[in-house]
Amino acid sequence: MIRKSDKTLQITEVSLRDGSHAVAHQFTESQIRSAVHALDEAGVHNIEVSHGDGLGGSTLQYGRSLVDEMKLIEAAVEESKQARIAVLLLPGIGTVHELKQAHALGARLVRVATHVTEADVSAQHLYMARELGMEAIGFLMMSHSAPVEKLVEQAKLMESYGAEAVYVTDSAGALLPYQVKERIKALHQSLSIEIGFHAHNNLSLAVANTLVAIEEGATRIDGSVRCLGAGAGNTQTEVLVAVLQKMGLDTGIDLYRMMDLAEHVIGPMLQRPQEILTGSLVMGYAGVYSSFLLHAQRAGKRFGIDSRDILIELGRRGIIGGQEDMILDVAAELAHTNKNEVL
């Protein structure tokens, strides 16, 4: 049973950021406008808009955006009447320069994302966000890959830098329900700020894991309409809203409007159904970053090897987000090894 919290549950819609991975960062301004307008009318609390890898992510390494993300952020702000527009920033990809730009355009919330063991690199950006008057949130990615004690240590660092909430981020969709429970519970007991949870559905556990997180005290929850996100997508927002309503928890989000926009606004943006295909499944199984899928598939075709082998090797080596250049290196090494074995 979900326990009552003194904090209101906030849903952040990530399909227009995390979903950028699924469409190779090809969102148009018209798509962003129509989606934000519909999500805002449905009562979604926060809507995240930026390149899939956050501010400054439009590069050859991470994938070029069709439209400059600042233009998309500006369009989103113009369309939103109630929801806050949020952005993601990965230190080393995005800088305080992009953060200031996004703020000037009207973004009011930033999630500063680091690998689960590297919270120290978030300090400058969290401090700047608070100085700008933005809501500053810490985002600990690949949270499955560190012991609970390390997660708590790093979350406390983000809290000390001014984070108003810290997320357990299941970037690979690799966490099992009991692992979510122990992580959220530990943070809830150790921090004085809010706890968030960001799921991926690579093992078909996103909704279940999200419910566990809420039960253990998480009050910031991410979802993506139609599971439009990297890999097999995130917690499906309209499904989560329906489940929470059945459990007696009113999020203030209009379920019928969410169903309609999922079908008629987000649906046409999908390049393929967001289902758990082999690539997504192996990412959850191997515990690798969900945005690696398209990169691994392209590398597999280029070198004539199975992309699953690439993903599993990336997981074995502990490759993390921001190291996408290693995907080609690993693919080349595997191809070379396979050729030698044949000889």
Q: What is residue 189's three-state secondary structure?
A: helix
The domains of the chain are located at 10-269, 291-342
Phi, psi of 81 (to 5 degrees): -105, -25
pLDDT for the residue numbered 202 = 94
162-221: pLDDT as tens digits: 999 999 999 999 999 999 999 999 999 999 999 999 999 999 999 999 999 999 999 999
Return the CATH fold of 291-342. Answer: Helicase, Ruva Protein; domain 3 (1.10.8)
276-331: pLDDT as tens digits: 988 889 989 999 887 787 889 999 999 999 999 999 999 888 887 667 889 999 99
User: What architecture is domain 10-269?
Assistant: Alpha-Beta Barrel (3.20)
> Which residue ranges make up the annotated binding site for Mn(2+)?
18, 198, 200
| Burial (Cβ within 10 Å: 0-12, 13-18, ≥19) of residue 172 | buried
**45 part of the active site:** no
pTM over 0.85: yes
The residue from 21, 25, 51, 115 that is catalytic is 21
pLDDT for the residue numbered 3 = 59
Element holding 88 (H helix, E strand): strand 84-89
Element holding 36 (H helix, E strand): helix 29-42
> Which residue ranges make up the annotated binding site for substrate?
17-18, 171, 198, 289
40-57: pLDDT as tens digits: 999 999 999 999 999 999
Residue 343 in this model has a pLDDT that exceeds 60:
no
pLDDT for the residue numbered 5 = 57
> Which residue ranges make up the annotated binding site?
17-18, 171, 198, 200, 289
Region of residue 4 (left: phi > 0; alpha: psi -120 to 50; beta: else): beta
Selection from 150, 143, 69 nearest residue 107 by Cα: 69
